[in-house]
Structure 1
Amino acid sequence: MATVAERTGLDPERLWGVGVVAILVALVGGSLAFPRVVYDGFIWHYFWGPVQADANSAVCATRAEGITQYLDSASACAAAVEPVAYPGYTLVSEVGYMVTLIIALTGVVFLLRRLDIGDDPRFFFSLVPFMFFGGAFRVIEDANDTPGVADALITYPVNTLIISPVIYVTVFAITLVAVVGSVTAERSGLIDDYVKPLFGAGVAVLAVSLAYLLWAGLTGSQGATFYPQVLVVILLGSTVAAAAAWWLIERFAPDVNKGTGKIGLMVLWGHAVDGVANVVGLNWMTAIGAGNNLIPKHPVNQAVVDITASTLPDSVLAITGDAWPFLLVKLVAATAVIWVFDEQIFEESPRYAILLLIAVLAVGLGPGTRDMLRATFGV
């Protein structure tokens, strides 16, 4: 059966480009032709509106007659006429971002193929610091949005660049510059191996972000505080959880990780960080003397909490909390992904396999780092 590329006479890269342009034309053209329906009712409502509301520290944002207004009370938001956008994600936006991620990953595969890199596990590990950096960078914006803070470092509209999901584009751009710069330096004869400076660049931008957050926490700038016990509990808990899951895999189902090896362990640990950070942040902040418990921002997190709260009796919830199943969900999901990436996938398409695993780790470790540091610095 002929492929789409064969039927159209376009190579995969050109076909990808045509598809991206077609989507952009449809969205831009639809917004111009039917602004109330396409832009206000879809693009703004589910994607850009939540970013604007978050960037302006509003409870919600509304849009009528092409004008955006920001509301500061839940009652006003409830009475507002749709479209109303709240900070955070919705099921529609998460599906949209998932589709965007798949399209973007395909484009990155073409780029890595052009650069002739990305098929070595070392490339995977060289990008890990950038995933930590993305989470830390997002917490800087959280500090800027802390209620009552007058000394915001980054203000609207610049702060939209470090709010989810736009921050993923920002971090991607920074990472891309580091990748291309490192590869160029290697091929110019300035260095012998692009992996080391690439890893170093990630560590450098992460160190700058952490240094700023530590300064803010120790000095009380921008409403930040410093709860080192949160960091210790989350890192220790995630390491124990990942180690336990890894032991179970190695003991009872060793074939699960034959393909990924150490990459699989890193993926498992990254999602354990996300799981434990949610459990600690949502249920145990007050118990460890680190301020108030946080509120879930993702629909999946909220759904897990709601189901647990409605299923277990209050006497049990008082002991276990209602967020712990999220950790189990993350570990099971990570294990399933590791199992899918068997040896055959790496043999047939190592570059695409490694890139997908980078994305899998990023969607766990990035938000997990954000939740962990947000709780650590009380923002």
Structure 2
Amino acid sequence: MELPDGIDPARAWLAAFLAGLALVVAAAVAFPRRVYDGFLWRYFWGPVDADAHGATCAVRAGGTTERLYNQGACSAADGVVAAPGYTTVSTASYAVVLVFMLVGVLLLLRTLNVRLTPKFYVALLPYMLLGGALRVVEDTNVAFIRADLGMLIPYPSVALIISPFIYFVMFAFTLAVLVSVVVLSRRGVFDEYEPYLAGIGAVALAGTIGWLLYISATSDIVGFFPAVAIITLGGATLIAAVFWWASGRYAPVINEGTGYLGALIVWGHSVDGIANVLSLDWTDELGIGVTYGSKHVVNEATVRITDGLQPAWLSEAIGTAWPFLFIKVAAAIFVVWVFNDEIFDESPRYAYLLLIAILAVGLGPGTRDMIRATLAI
């Protein structure tokens, strides 16, 4: 594929990436207070810094960073204040970066002539689960800090498994594995690369889960409540099965483009929805004894609006996070319906990449919330 002026698209993408990176760095150096402190640190690095140290917020003033551990001190702080989690600005920025990186991956896959298929899609599933599991490793690190037991993973290395940096780490890791197995397959080392792609991801996931279970078994800081994982995975599987049956019987047009991948997408976003509901409203009933809060903009808004509209007695009985599950499932079904046969016929690579991103943004956070509540950290 060539641009109208004859420029190779892959080289144009790389040039745009390097130019954008250089522009950000130059602006941060030229205007450190406004660009670095007021934007980059406030919306991106500051939340990561606070999260890594288990702080309520981090404050940037006079070129130094201070971590505070109660809301009152954060409200009274003099300087640029950043709290763990996402804001509208950071969420929108990540969306722009995600789209740009997807275009880059698309161009790379075209250069390598990699054919995307449902088998390739499923092979990436362990990597989506791995991203969420690695976030729980960071949560475990914070739990040890709060218990005055020090860091399991030192700072700033731990920032690599905190949002948004973990997305870039997982992106680089997955891409490196993909390129490696594709090259080895082309050289005749093995016939199909998808099983090896899935296998490497599964080994990394098993190692991460195994480490977390080891910490759970050898430390009083980390608990073990398997009911959370059972309810989440069982409930998500039931929802996906009902969707698969109902769409096939009553509205086959919804799932004609994606096939069984549509059910997988609904499953992944159901995991996110159920894990959120359990974490926010049902920890006491499950005996976990840990209070969790919303970090995502949509989730937080859903809880706030439901709390304002729903009668107090009903909120007491069923909580206020339950609409988020319906929103996630409805959004997933809508996306599955949009991806019809025509989209796959016109641009199969782009269609598959978008579906991969759509599943990852639900399953990654959902996996984290599920494992975190399972371990009560």
TM-score range relative to shorter protein = over 0.9
Task: Say how many residue pairs are matched.
Answer: 375
Matched with 1:175 is 174
Contact 2:10 2:108 in 1 (8 A): no
Matched with 1:5 is 3
Q: 343, 347, 353: which is aligned to 2:345?
A: 347
Matched with 1:28 is 25
CA distance in 1: counterparts of 2:10 and 2:2, whole angstroms: 12
RMSD: 1.6
Residue 118 of structure 1: CA displacement?
4.2
Contact 1:118 1:355 in 2 (8 A): no
CA distance in 2: counterparts of 1:80 and 1:248, whole angstroms: 54
Matched with 1:214 is 213
**Alignment of 1:42 onto 2:39:** yes
Contact 2:185 2:192 in 1 (8 A): yes
Secondary structure in structure 1 of the residue aligned to 2:67: strand
**Alignment of 1:60 onto 2:71:** no
1:144-189 deviations in Å (ceiling 9; x for gaps): 1012151532111110000011111111222122112211221222
Which deviates the most, 45-54 or 233-242? 233-242
Equivalent positions of 1:216-295 (< 5 A) are 216-220=215-219, 223-295=221-293
1:233-279 deviations in Å (ceiling 9; x for gaps): 11112122222333333333221111110111111100000000000
Q: Partner letter of residue 310 of structure 2?
A: L
Q: Partner letter of residue 212 of structure 2?
A: L
Structure 2 unmatched runs, 5+:
none
Which deviates the most, 46-55 or 21-30? 21-30
Residue 300 of structure 1: CA displacement?
1.3
1:81-139 deviations in Å (ceiling 9; x for gaps): 24210011101000000000000000001111122114211111000011111111110
Q: Partner letter of residue 288 of structure 2?
A: A
Residue 4 of structure 1: CA displacement?
11
CA distance in 1: counterparts of 2:243 and 2:261, whole angstroms: 14
Which deviates the most, 267-276 or 112-121? 112-121
Contact 2:226 2:374 in 1 (8 A): yes
CA distance in 1: counterparts of 2:259 and 2:310, whole angstroms: 37
Between the aligned residues of both structures, percent identity stands at 48
Matched with 1:194 is 193
Structure 1 unmatched runs, 5+:
none
**Alignment of 1:142 onto 2:139:** yes
**Alignment of 1:128 onto 2:156:** no
TM-score (norm 1): 0.95
Equivalent positions of 1:74-93 (< 5 A) are 74-93=71-90
Secondary structure in structure 2 of the residue aligned to 1:70: strand
**Alignment of 1:111 onto 2:108:** yes
Secondary structure in structure 2 of the residue aligned to 1:5: coil
CA distance in 1: counterparts of 2:150 and 2:189, whole angstroms: 42
Contact 2:224 2:376 in 1 (8 A): yes
Matched with 2:156 is 157
Contact 2:2 2:8 in 1 (8 A): no
Contact 1:304 1:326 in 2 (8 A): yes
Matched with 1:100 is 97
Matched with 1:166 is 165
CA distance in 2: counterparts of 1:175 and 1:55, whole angstroms: 24
Which deviates the most, 88-97 or 176-185? 176-185
